[in-house]
Structure 1
Amino acid sequence: MDRAAFCCGEPELDAFFRDHALDHHVGHKARVTVGLYDGELVGFYWLIAQSFPLNKVSAEAEQQFAHLGATPCVYLGMLGTQQGRQGNGIGKTLMLHAMRQTLSIAERLGVYALTLEAINERRARQYEQWGFAYCVEGALDMYIALPTMRKAGLTPLA
């Protein structure tokens, strides 16, 4: 897999994937998942465990996890699709995989939501269409609670 050739058009994401993704994955700093199509790299995302401040997710989370002082979440750090493949549903497929991976993680430990920070307002609107809600009005931090994923018919990965 040629990580050096990956380009999604967002310099920060491209640099991470080319220069740091392997080290993060091997060092268990993040779990990096790649998307392949006919052996060609078409996209990636990474996940980590996260403790989110109680008052930054939802009133439900604040009530449910008050005893912990934080909301346990899975954080989607980055998601990128190869520039020539954008607009073909690859990003959405990767997002659905990340959601299903989050549901799988929730089978083994306490998790309230999948969280992310949208790279810009346009992406935030797209994530909102996919069921994400804003953590704080006016910010790009977003979350999708597990019940919302399940209600959409998503199931854990096998």
Structure 2
Amino acid sequence: MALSDDDYFIEPLGKHDRAAFCCGVEELDRYLKQQAGQDARKRVAAPFVLVEKSSGSIACYYTLSATSIKLGELPLAISKKLPKYPIVPATLLGRLAVNQNHRQKGLGEMLLMDALYRSLNSEIATTAVIVEAKDDDARSFYEHYNFMRFPDFSHRLFLMMETIAKMFA
């Protein structure tokens, strides 16, 4: 099946039916079903859902929130180009999950690109997008899109806004 923008749309989490969502990772399923709405209302995270137009079902979701990076955690080649503040602002891509019924359609990439684009176009200053990969497969997914590992954290990765801007130029 060829993926088309006509098949799906992305929007903030609202009154969507979340009960049937199953990505196969209990923690991610439970978050969407039980916590995401509350996090949105309390402005702790901004959940976004990719919805299949034909069924109205949630095919994937991700969350964005504000975070920060200790300057010393970044590779020296990057930190030396930044202002010498002890911490710099960043955007956390906290969760990204694809429903098992919607795998192998390129939806993870579509969601990631949407998250990066929203982060780039935010009116809030941010130096990078950070992810905490849950396992080696997730880490490989992000590394495929040029995310770099923090030197001291094997599953914590980042992508500088400068790089994201070039992606969308």
The TM-score normalised by the length of structure 2 is: 0.84
Q: For residues 1-150 of structure 1, what are the structure 2 equivalents within 5 Å?
A: 1-38=16-53, 39-59=56-76, 60-61=78-79, 63-66=81-84, 68-105=85-122, 108-136=123-151, 139-150=154-165
Q: Which amino acid aligns with 2:105?
A: N
Structure with greater proportional helix content? 1
**Residues 57 and 143, structure 1, Cα contact 8 Å, conserved in 2:** no
> Which residue does the alignment assign to 2:7?
none
Partners in 2 of 1:69 and 1:117 — Cα distance?
21
Please report how far the alpha carbon of residue 63 of structure 1 lies from its aligned counterpart in structure 2 after TM superposition: 4.4
SS in structure 1 at match of 2:142: helix
Partners in 2 of 1:118 and 1:37 — Cα distance?
25
SS in structure 1 at match of 2:62: strand
What fraction of aligned residue pairs are identical, expressed as a percent? 25
The TM-score normalised by the length of structure 1 is: 0.89
**Cα RMSD, aligned residues only:** 1.5
Q: Deviations over 1:78-120 (max 9, x none)?
A: 0011111011111110000000011011xx2321100010010
Please report how far the alpha carbon of residue 65 of structure 1 lies from its aligned counterpart in structure 2 after TM superposition: 3.2
Count of residue pairs the alignment pairs up: 151
Q: Which amino acid aligns with 2:57?
A: E
Please report how far the alpha carbon of residue 4 of structure 1 lies from its aligned counterpart in structure 2 after TM superposition: 1.6
**Residues 61 and 112, structure 1, Cα contact 8 Å, conserved in 2:** no
Q: Unpaired runs of 5+ in structure 2?
A: 1-15
